[in-house]
Structure 1
C-alpha cells in the first residue's frame, strides 16, 4: 500500500479531481486490487471534510486534515475488517479492542455487523466540525449479507450531510441492492511508463520496478508491495525453472496463498503463450518456448486445480507440506523443458 502521507499517484490525483467535480452522496470505487481504491477513497474523504478545500482536493494543513492524518477525526468513520484496521493503523472500537486484548477472539477478516450498526448510528448524529460526515468502507466486499443489509436503508436515504464511499476489489460480490444505490467509478489503469516513474519515486530501482510491475500484472500498488516485501526480483524470474527442477528452496519464502497466486499467474502466462499471446506476469525469456508447452487441455486442468486450492489456501495447513504438494502438482502438470537462463 502506498504511503498515505505522500501525495497520491498522478493517476489518482486526476480521478480525485474528476470525482470532486460531481455530486452524489454514495460512491462505489471499484476495480482489481492494486489500483488505489483505498487511497482514492481516503482522498475523497479528506477533501469533503477539509476546512479549506480546493477543486483539486484537501489543503493538507487544516485541523480537519490533521485529524484524519492522526486517525482521530470525529466526522469520519472507517469500516474495514479488523485485520486491515490494524495494518493501516485505524483505531478499533473500545469493545472490539478489549476483546482482542483479552484473547477472547481473533481479529475479524470480515466487516462486522456491529461496526455497520455503529456507522448507521454515527450517520444520524450531527456533524462535529460542521463539514458533514463521511463513512468509508473498504474492502466493501468484506461485508457479509447481514452487514450489507444493515447499511441498505441508510445508504438509500442518508440523514443529513453524510457521504458514503465504498472501495471494492471485487464489486461483483456486493449485493445488487448495494451497487444500485451508489454511483460507480471504475479505477483507471495507469500507463506502464507512468506507473514505472511512480515506482521509481517510491525508491524502487529501475530493473526491479519493471519486474515487479510485470509480476503484479500492471497494478502499481501491488507492485510496490512486492518491491517492499524483501523478495528478490531475480528469484521471481527463476520461479518457472525452480518448479521444473523441484527446487523448493526458491519458493520457501512464499506463504501458501502467495504460492497459489504465483502458480495461477504462471498457468495464465503458459495458456496465453499456448494460443500465441504475450505473457503478462513473467518475461518471455523465463518461460518455455510455445513448442515445449504442455497441451492446452493439461494447462486448463491445472488451472482448475489451482482454483480449488485457492479456496482453502488460507486454512492453517502445514506450510511445508502444502509447498511440496503444490510443487509436485505443478511438475506433474507441466513437465517443463525450460531454456537455459539468459544473461541479463
Structure 2
C-alpha cells in the first residue's frame, strides 16, 4: 500500500511517524480523505526494513522484503480488520472473519457484512500474543473502527490497553462520537484534515479522464471537500453537469438527474440538499450545492422535519426495496417539504 496517489497524505505521514509514539494510534477525520490509505502507510512504515532497528521511523521504502509482502497482502506480522462489505472497494481481503466457511456449510450465499464482527477481533487478540515472524514489529489496522459493535469493542479493550510484546494498533475512524470512550482513551489521536482544494481538484482530474477543472470543483463540493468520496460518487453516477439541477428538480418532485442511482446515494443527496437549504435559510453558505442553484426562502420547521424523515430513510437505505417506488416516495416527500419553492 502506498500514499503515492494521495499527495496530501505525505506531510501528515511524516509528522505522525515522528510524533505518534504510543502503542495505539487513532486516525480520524472527515471520511473520504484517505484514513485507510494513511493507516496502511503508517503500518507499512513501522514494518519497513530499509532502516536499522531502533532508527527514527521514516515513510516506507516500498521495495524491501517487508514492503513487498504488504503489497502482496501476505505479511505475517500485519493484520488488517475491515468489514466484508468494504474489502473489495479497499483492495483488501481476509479480515479474520470465519463466516465464509459457515456460508459454505449452510449452502447459502450471505450478504457481505457491514460490521466488524467479534470473531475478527478475537483473531486479533490471538495474533497479538504470537511472536513477530520477522522480528521488526507487529501491526493491527482496524478500519473503520466505528463498525465495531459493543461486543467487538469490549473484546479489543484489554489488548488495546496493554498490548503484549511488539504489537502496535492503528484504529481508523471517521467519527469519534461513534467510538466507545474507553476505546478513544486508549489511543493517541491523530486527525487528518480536509486536503487543500487545489490538490484535491488536481487529483480528481488525474483519476477521472476528461474531467475539466470546473466539473472537478463541482464534484468536490458535492462530496463536502472529500476527494475520495467525490471519485466514488462519480463512479456511482453523480454527474457534475447535472448536480446543480437537482434542487430545482427535487422541488418539482422529479429526479431525472438521479436516475439509475443506488438508493443510498439518492438518500444522501437529499440529505445534502436539505442541509444546504437550511444553511441558506439562516444566511449561511451552502456546503454541497452551488448557492445560485438554491432558494433562500426555506421554512426551517419543514426542513427540520424533512431532515428527520431522511435520517429514518438512511437507516434502511440498504434494504431491498422496490427502487423506483421508494425513490418516488422520497421525491414526493421532498416536494411537500419544499413546496414553498414552487
In the alignment of these two chains, the number of paired residues is 332
Q: Provide the residue aligned with 1:332 in structure 2.
A: 336
TM-score normalised to structure 2 length: 0.91
Counterparts of 1:151-300 in structure 2, within 5 Å, are 151-203=156-208, 204-288=211-295, 290=296, 293-300=297-304
Per-residue deviation, 1:202: 2.8
Contact 2:237/2:260, CA 8 A, preserved across alignment: no
**How far apart, CA to CA, are the structure 2 residues paired with 1:180 and 1:304?**
32
**How far apart, CA to CA, are the structure 1 residues paired with 2:99 and 2:65?**
28
**How far apart, CA to CA, are the structure 2 residues paired with 1:70 and 1:313?**
35
Contact 1:100/1:107, CA 8 A, preserved across alignment: no
Per-residue deviation, 1:63: 1.5
Q: More displaced, 187-196 or 65-74?
A: 187-196
Gaps of 5+ in 1: 339-344
Per-residue deviation, 1:10: 2.9
Counterparts of 1:1-344 in structure 2, within 5 Å, are 4-5=1-2, 7-22=4-19, 23-53=21-51, 55-92=57-94, 93=96, 95-101=98-104, 102-103=107-108, 105-203=110-208, 204-288=211-295, 290=296, 293-335=297-339, 337=341
Contact 2:138/2:168, CA 8 A, preserved across alignment: yes
**How far apart, CA to CA, are the structure 2 residues paired with 1:117 and 1:94?**
9
Per-residue deviation, 1:98: 3.0
**How far apart, CA to CA, are the structure 2 residues paired with 1:325 and 1:167?**
36
Per-residue deviation, 1:94: 8.2
Q: 1:336 to 1:225 in 2, by over 3 A?
A: farther
Contact 1:209/1:227, CA 8 A, preserved across alignment: no
Per-residue deviation, 1:336: 5.4
Gaps of 5+ in 2: none
Moved segments of 4+, more than 6 Å: none
SS of residue in 2 equivalent to 1:90:
coil
CA RMSD of aligned residues (A): 1.9
